[in-house]
Structure 1
């Protein structure tokens, strides 16, 4: 959401709330889809969360009214391999990288790195975090391993995790993040499941994206919008363009679509 809905200060624009009321009266569903933890999304959208579907952890967890609709677990062997790879990159004496892992469980997120720099990055996306001595001892069903780095994630972190692509997804999900997820879990899969449950067609679906973890979601929407500030691959994949998040592009497009459809204000 950082490069789509959220403004330049990483806040939800005030103009969204009346739009959500307008959409709700017309029976239009709004579903935030993010790499963020469900607990963080619920906190951010607390004033309008009733009945809202949250697509969290990049599609690995889907929740409505605090009830989990679906979750896709990551097998323990993959978790071990991912954590071990992160530790290897962090401990490289020749080419050390500032990196840390978040093991994302169904109950909470877990970290073994506790310094202020890393926690500041983690706390932006995770509202429920438990510090542990060893990530490999976490006793929870894991849905994702998120890896943060202060450097370009495509330089060292993504290549270190690349062998996992044989059986799982390794996705650059932001300018500082790489996610390891189950092969069949992504925002697009979650959107298609939501379409089926609501009786909504792809042509009746609007999606906004700015980064690589949005590609499958854009494919699932007949009306797909890349933000003006989007990654080049997203710009190439989407059918339409929206103004940047700094210019409140999501709100601009939604207002226009609602007006064009004659939805009462």
Structure 2
């Protein structure tokens, strides 16, 4: 930690983004996390992965430690613990159909885009080339190929757009017109943009967990690196931006953790738990 943490700790909830935060440079959960999770469980501290990834993917990543572990999936629009839904915030079907039309029109003008319609049961794609499917399968363990995305019969939590260029610079400006008081457009990575409910974000998910579990922001630590982590950091008094975080994330967080390449979540949590002990 580059900032001094002096206040007394009563840590009960730790929430960590995945890509660019918890996962190492190879996209793997650091080996050092597993013994730390056992220590946290013994202390009564809950660890919560929070990601744009779907629940099935997160559960697969943490399969041997998943018992009792809450998961914040789909950028906060779906929160599940032991298979039981804690909260969800699905999209209106008419909005989803309008988004798909707008994306077809945008792609026709040049940007190379892939679309994932993210439901509670599965994620759905219609594009089948290896380049796009390879990216989609990194984040969606339950993935179905369908002929018509608009005909998917599922509760839709999010529409994720993969831009083979720079999503924030190339595609996000064109999608901004889809924002409303009911829906939002979030840049969630260099190549990804998520369209979701205006009231769905990782911060809302953390607050739902805090309410369900009787945990306060003062008992919560959060780690993030990108724009879709901002509200999550706001929900925790112990908020950490990774060393190579987006500049807005670095401004918003109270503290800084080392880069994910230096296992910043693991090293910072180890220090926090030692201080609590």
TM range, smaller chain: over 0.9
Ranges of 4+ aligned residues in structure 1 off by more than 2 Å = none
Within the alignment, does 1:191 sit opposite 2:210 as a pair?
A: no
Alignment of 1:205-220 (within 5 A): 205-220=220-235
Matched, 1:137 2:137: no
CA contact (8 A) 2:86 2:209 kept: no
1:8 and 2:8 matched: no
Question: Is 1:204 matched with 2:223?
Answer: no
- Taking the aligned partners of 2:93 and 2:174, their CA distance within structure 1 comes to 18
Is the Cα–Cα contact under 8 Å of residues 86 and 208 in structure 2 kept in the other structure? no
Q: Distance in 2 between matches of 1:78 and 1:146?
A: 14
Partner of 2:128: 114
User: 2:8: which partner in 1?
Assistant: none
CA displacement at 1:64 relative to structure 2: 0.6
Unaligned runs of 5+ in 2: 1-17
Among 53, 61, 83, the alignment partner of 2:70 is: 53
Q: Report if the CA contact (8 A) 1:85-1:160 is conserved.
A: no
Tell which deviates more after alignment, 82-91 or 200-209. 82-91
What is the aligned counterpart of 1:236 among 245, 248, 251? 251
C-alpha distance in 2, partners of 1:158/1:86? 11
Whole-angstrom CA distance in 1 between matches of 2:215 and 2:119: 30
Provide Cα deviations, 1:163-193, integer angstroms capped at 9, x if missing partner.
Answer: 1212311000001000001011110001011
Q: How many residues align?
A: 259
* Partners of 1:47 and 1:175 in 2: CA distance: 30
Distance 1:210 1:233 in 2: 9
Q: How far, CA to CA, are the matches of 1:222 and 1:69 in structure 2?
A: 22
Partner of 2:3: none
Aligned-partner Cα distance in 2 for 1:82–1:229:
32
1:113-149 alpha-carbon deviations (Å, 9 max, x no partner): 1100000110010000111111111111101000001
Deviates more, 1:158-167 or 1:25-34: 158-167
TM-score (normalised: structure 2): 0.92
1:245 partnered with 2:234: no
**Could you tell me whether the CA contact under 8 Å between 2:168 and 2:190 is conserved in 1?**
no
**8 A contact 1:86–1:157 mirrored in 2:** no
Q: Which residue of 2 aligns with 1:38?
A: 55
Q: Is the Cα contact below 8 Å between 1:86 and 1:100 reproduced in 2? A: no
What is the CA-CA distance between 1:99 and the residue it aligns to? Answer: 0.3
Please report how far the alpha carbon of residue 238 of structure 1 lies from its aligned counterpart in structure 2 after TM superposition. Answer: 0.3
Name the counterpart of 2:118.
104
Secondary structure (helix, strand or coil) at the match of 2:166 reads coil
Match of residue 139 from structure 2 = 125
Q: Normalization by structure 1: what TM-score?
A: 0.96
